[in-house]
Amino acid sequence: MAPFGSFAQQPGKVWRVGFLGAGAAPATASRVEGLRSGLRNLGYVEGKNLTIEYRRTDDDPDHLGEAIADLVRSRVDIILAVANKQAFLAKRATTTIPIVVWGMHGALDTGLVSNLQRPGGNLTGTESLAPEIDAKRVELLRQLIPDVRHIAAVYDAGDQGSAVHLRFAQMAGQSLGIRVSPVEVRRKDDFASALLDARRNQLDGLLIFTSPLTVISWDEIRKFSVAHRIPTVCEWRLLTVNGCLVSYGPRIAEYSERNAAQIDKIFRGASAGDLPVEQMTKFELIINETAARTFGITLPRSVLMRADEVIP
């Protein structure tokens, strides 16, 4: 690919990216900074030839709809939508503005795209492979707690990928003799009662499916898990830094690098629907040692040796 400075289309053009995010501020900040860095490496600098219009919501559907409508009205050049729910809403809101999705999960199973190599329409992005590696997280919990028999899968029932996550996790659980029970939430206020209901059955662990809603509500999940001594398995390092026992999932930086490259190609004239949905290739295993002590878990050497990072 030719360097940015070698082409001079639309001299003086300032590209406008509409960033449609959700979730806790630290998660949003890391995505934003990753996007800035990725685009900067390709020659796009905020305040010079790039403007990023930020819209971060509390994951309320009404607020999401308003944020998307506002970006469409403002005629940004591209919408970067974080996760499935934002992507589906953006897809319904516009068929003309290119949409790049940060971290789809179950892109094919949910119908967000019909083909990973050539998604068609005005949408492309990155696929987290989260449902596929839910099985690995269930196996990881078995390695940490050999006598685990029953875990609860906590997820946002309004997120289109949830059923896909649950199917993979339950198949893995069945093969290991572990019951995986669904715990559905739809809004932040649902967590307290949903978790207490789940606890009525003996629980050995909590599997957290990533979505803006579960990230926003992580502190409540963490406090519940500590109070009732029920260890947690997550996808993101961010949550393990903040008290999750263990996480296994894609490296956040890879999303931003790949999304930035996709945005660059669209700025250069490519059609979003012609760009393949890119799948993550770099995964990391993070363990929180303090959380392990809290739950009375002795970390097996075999797991510690595989860890990319052990947080003291």
Domain boundary assignment for the chain = 4-127+252-281, 130-249+284-311
Q: Kindly report, residue by residue over 109-153, the tens digit of the pLDDT.
A: 999 999 999 999 999 999 988 888 999 999 999 999 999 999 999
From residue 57, alpha-carbon distances to 19, 84, 128 in Å are: 11, 14, 21
* pLDDT of 2: 39
Residues 6+ apart with CB under 8 A from 38: 256, 257, 259, 260, 261
Which among 43, 141, 15, 29 has a CA at the least distance from the CA of 82? Answer: 29
Residue 9: how many CB atoms within 10 A of its CB?
Answer: 8
Q: How far apart are CA 209 and CA 159, in angstroms?
A: 10
Predicted model pTM: 0.90
From residue 125, alpha-carbon distances to 1, 177, 264, 285 in Å are: 19, 36, 12, 24
Q: How far apart are CA 295 and CA 304, in angstroms?
A: 17
* pLDDT of 61: 55
What is the strand order of the sheet 283-288 is part of? Answer: 179-185, 150-156, 205-208, 232-234, 246-250, 283-288, 309-311
Q: How far apart are CA 227 and CA 204, in angstroms?
A: 13
Q: How far apart are CA 262 and CA 254, in angstroms?
A: 12
> Which one-letter amino acid corresponds to residue 190?
D
* pLDDT of 218: 94
Q: How far apart are CA 294 and CA 229, in angstroms?
A: 8
Please say whether the beta carbons of 249 and 210 come within 8 A. Answer: yes
What is the total residue count of the chain? 312
Can you give the C-alpha Rg of the chain in angstroms? 20
pLDDT < 50: residue spans in the chain? 1-9
* pLDDT of 211: 87
Task: Give CA 120 to chain center in angstroms.
Answer: 22
* pLDDT of 130: 83
* pLDDT of 11: 65
Strands 283-288 and 246-250: antiparallel
Q: Which CATH architecture has domain 4-127+252-281?
A: 3-Layer(aba) Sandwich (3.40)
Q: Kindly report, residue by residue over 75-92, the tens digit of the pLDDT.
A: 999 999 988 989 999 999
* pLDDT of 1: 40
Name the CATH topology of 130-249+284-311. Answer: Rossmann fold (3.40.50)
* pLDDT of 24: 58
* pLDDT of 57: 66
> Which one-letter amino acid corresponds to residue 151?
I
